Amino acid sequence: MNHHNAAATQFVMEASAAESMAQSLNLPSVLPLLPHLVQSTKLLARPPISNYHVGAVGLGSDGRVFVGVNLEFPGLPLHHSVHAEQFLLTNLAVHRCPRLVAVAVSAAPCGHCRQFFQEIRYSSSLQILVIDEENWIKKINLRESPDFKPLSKFLPHPFGPHDLLDQETPLLLEQHDNGLDLLNQNDEYILENPNNVSNGNGNFSNGNCEKYEKNETLLRKAALEAANNAHAPYSGCPSGVALMDCEGKVYKGSYVESAAYNPSFGPVQAALVAYVARGGSGYERIVEAALVEEEGAKVRQEDTARLLLKAISPKCELRVFYCQSRKFM
């Protein structure tokens, strides 16, 4: 398998592999490698509504190369879609990369994504290259360097975290703990709230209560971890989702807010990014899910999560677990 085929089948490339690929292409560094990967990255997109494939390839501060693609979900409103740039940032967060240094994209970032980039530290200096395929081929043939431009050129009058938060508040990609623990939810509560249990009628543990309890424990723990990693400094309503496929693999996603409030990024979409990035195929293979959020929060995810999961995997079981800040427990 050659370098280009290998790059087209993965969503994260380790720093050593990126450096090796850059050397094999006689590039001076990893940075000009990014546009070389964009066109193959587009093939990984899943846009069944628009059929418009978008790919984004980013360089992390640790030297790793990350991929993002757009995802669309038939039967759902378009605002449920995942933009390639959102996928990219979520991919960095999942892999605990502390900063995005540069990104090459196959189409100019929309206003939605330019705003979303504001949620990372030092965003104004983020280097962005929009690939014009015809002109890029000419640049390659002439051995010209890619013309990256800072986000400030794409968003000259930004409104972002600096307008609403203090300097000590962690931003997107910065490690933090929201200090959440689960509330006790007993059997009486579950009987009183039957909609809290399932989207469908399936029992994916085949009647094996021990297996079901094990799955529930894994999902509950992963969803709580995701909620504690959520970026929700504007509403103060963190949440997280964990998904399990039919092979028992778990994928988690954290809610991410924007200073503009809309756009923000739901925890189910974030978990689906993790699912796709780790090689997940059809969404119908997702069979169990857990959502952790605060009961009665001003920003709630439960109804939206059920809508999205029902559309993409009707037999997926969803359980909701409520949490509370440790300082109030």
Residue 83 annotated as lining a ligand binding site: yes
Angle at which helices 15-24 and 33-42 cross, to 10°: 100
If we measure between CA atoms, which residue out of 120, 124, 117, 129 comes closest to residue 157?
124
Residue 71 annotated as lining a ligand binding site: yes
Check whether the bond before 263 is cis (ω within 30° of 0). yes
Known catalytic residue at 144: no
Catalytic residue chosen out of the listed positions 14, 19, 85, 295:
85
Output the furthest CA–CA distance in the chain (Å, rounded): 71
CB 123 within 8 A of CB 103: no
Instruction: Quote the strand ranges of 160-246, DSSP E.
Output: 180-182, 239-245
Q: Rounded to whole angstroms, how far apart are CA atoms 126 and 143?
A: 24
Q: Rounded to whole angstroms, how far apart are CA atoms 231 and 156?
A: 24
User: What is the residue-wise DSSP string for 145-176?
Assistant: PP--EEHHHH-SS---HHHHS-TTS--BTS--
Residue 26 annotated as lining a ligand binding site: no
**Residue 86, CA distances (Å) to 17, 66, 132 in order:** 24, 12, 21
Residue 72 annotated as lining a ligand binding site: yes
Tokens of 29: 């560094």
Indicate the annotated binding residues: 70-72, 83, 110, 113
Indicate the annotated binding residues for substrate: 70-72
Indicate the annotated binding residues for Zn(2+): 83, 110, 113
The catalytic residue positions are 85
